């Protein structure tokens, strides 16, 4: 019987790459966030994680739910939306077709349209590549990437998260669940993309709600959080509809989850969005 041994909400912003680039005006600015991802990777290795399941808010699907079930993920990635930030980022990671197919099977049992794809030309998006660059740099663990549909509902994403939990239990795997995306996600318009774009959140309302969400997590007030989550996703410009967070909490038990939320880096802005890395501890 498989088990979820690590669960986290993480940042994947491309400014992480710029923070490591010599001569960049952002050099060193994302050190805390990078350390948080590396620490999660260390914990995953320490706990014997076989597979990372990444809920990727940069793999946006128009038609249903999709899972990358390739046996190998290999390529060189340049971001189409920010090619000046992520260029020629190589990745070579093992996949987990068995778990990917099992997730799709469990979802279909619950009448959710999910397709698991074994297509060599189906690459990963940076919502998966960037966290894995820091958390799974040696490719020690398998990777399954799950898309975030644009035209869906909270209930459907909850169903997918529940299907992930069932699939993990049905497979002989130790699994890390990664919700890869921002908190609030209102970005600065082009005319405001000066240096302050890296140091300020585009909406003070969004910033205040993000900080309140972090308080709720730290106080383990998850029932209140999931009750506000549908409005939070809409009113604070949720990246990918906050599908990653919905799936993560569904897999953890939704409002029945009661574990510790450990914030691993300071809350920080990037291009106007609110970012953080938090581990949600899973009871032994």
Q: Which of 164, 198, 172 has the alpha carbon at shortest distance from 275?
A: 198
- Determine contact, residues 19/29, Cβ cutoff 8 Å: yes
Question: pLDDT per residue over 13-61, tens digit each?
Answer: 999 988 888 888 878 889 999 999 999 999 999 999 999 999 999 999 9
Q: Which of 134, 131, 142 has the alpha carbon at shortest distance from 168?
A: 142
Quick one: pLDDT band at residue 191, thresholds 50, 70, 90? Answer: confident
Q: How many domains does the chain have?
A: 1
Q: Which of 239, 275, 227 has the alpha carbon at shortest distance from 55?
A: 239
Q: What's the 3-state SS for 84-98?
A: CCCCCEEEEEEECHH
pLDDT at residue 51, as a whole number: 98
Got the DSSP string for 133-144?
HHHSTT--SEEE
Structure tokens at 119: 């297509």
Structure tokens at 189: 């318009």
Of the CA atoms within 13 Å of residue 212, those in its CB half-sphere come to 13
Tell me the three state secondary structure of residue 51: strand
Higher pLDDT, 97 or 24: 97
Longest dimension (CA), the chain: 53
Q: Which domain holds residue 108?
A: 3-280
- Determine contact, residues 56/145, Cβ cutoff 8 Å: yes
| pTM beyond cutoff 0.85 | yes
Q: DSSP character for 23?
A: T
Is residue 284 pLDDT above 80, yes or no? no
Question: pLDDT per residue over 227-236, tens digit each?
Answer: 999 999 999 9
Tell me the three state secondary structure of residue 168: helix
CATH number (domain holding residue 242): 3.40.830.10
Query: Cβ neighbours of residue 212 under 8 Å, at least 6 residues apart?
Result: none
Question: pLDDT per residue over 232-272, tens digit each?
Answer: 999 999 999 999 999 999 999 999 999 999 999 999 999 99
């Amino acid at each position: 019987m498989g088990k979820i041994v690590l669960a986290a909400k993480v940042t994947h912003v491309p400014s992480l790459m710029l923070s490591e680039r010599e001569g960049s005006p952002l050099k060193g600015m994302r050190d805390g966030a990078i350390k948080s991802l590396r620490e999660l990777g260390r914990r995953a290795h320490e706990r014997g994680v076989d597979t990372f399941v990444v809920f990727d808010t940069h793999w946006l699907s128009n038609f249903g739910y999709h899972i990358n079930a390739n046996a190998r993920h290999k390529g060189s990635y340049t971001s189409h939306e920010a090619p000046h930030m992520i260029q020629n980022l190589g990745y070579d990671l093992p996949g987990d077709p068995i778990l990917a197919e099992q997730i799709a099977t469990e979802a279909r049992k619950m009448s959710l349209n999910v397709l698991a794809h074994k297509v060599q030309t189906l690459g990963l998006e940076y919502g998966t590549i960037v966290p894995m660059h820091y958390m799974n740099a040696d490719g020690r663990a398998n990777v399954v990437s799950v898309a975030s549909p644009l035209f869906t509902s909270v209930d459907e994403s909850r169903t997918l998260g529940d299907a992930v939990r069932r699939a993990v239990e049905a497979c002989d795997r130790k699994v890390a669940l990664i919700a890869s995306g921002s908190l609030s996600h209102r970005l600065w318009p082009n005319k405001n993309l000066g240096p302050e774009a890296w140091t300020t959140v585009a909406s003070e309302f969004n910033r205040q709600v993000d900080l309140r969400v972090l308080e709720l997590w730290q106080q383990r007030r998850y029932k209140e959080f999931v009750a506000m989550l549908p409005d939070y996703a809409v009113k604070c410009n949720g990246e990918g509809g906050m599908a990653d967070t919905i799936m993560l909490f569904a897999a953890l038990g939704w409002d029945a989850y009661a574990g510790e939320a450990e914030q691993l880096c300071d809350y920080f802005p990037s291009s106007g969005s609110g970012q953080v890395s938090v581990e949600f501890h899973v009871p032994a």
